[in-house]
């Protein structure tokens, strides 16, 4: 599958999906179908070892008080401030 200029090309089926012309509902339906297809073959996409390392590090930071959970609203605010 290749992505270019707002279009998705699926090589094995020669399908072109013009993302820009889809309605919001159609885009969500396409995402759901893609996700369903990807999750059927999740064993084909093993997580790299470093993912486990990062999760253990973050868990340890929470347990030792070096990090804390924030609300989604707060997280978005923090992310927006970092962009500026």
Q: b/e string for 1-37 if b means 16 or more Cβ within 10 A?
A: eeeeeeeeeeeeeeeebeeeeeeeeeeeeeeeeeeee
Q: What is the pLDDT of residues 23-81, one digit of tens each?
A: 999 999 999 998 888 888 767 778 899 999 999 999 999 999 999 999 999 999 999 99
pLDDT value at position 1?
44
Q: What is the pLDDT of residues 45-55, one digit of tens each?
A: 788 999 999 99
What pTM does this model have?
A: 0.44
Q: Domain boundaries in the chain?
A: 2-44, 49-83
């Amino acid at each position: 599958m290749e992505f270019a200029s707002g279009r998705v090309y699926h090589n094995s089926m020669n399908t072109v999906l013009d993302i820009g012309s889809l309605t919001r509902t159609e885009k969500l339906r396409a995402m759901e179908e893609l996700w369903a297809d990807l999750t059927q073959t999740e064993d084909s996409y093993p997580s790299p070892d470093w993912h486990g390392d990062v999760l253990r590090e973050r868990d340890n930071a929470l347990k030792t008080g070096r990090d804390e959970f924030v609300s989604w609203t707060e997280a978005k605010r923090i992310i927006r401030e970092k962009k500026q």
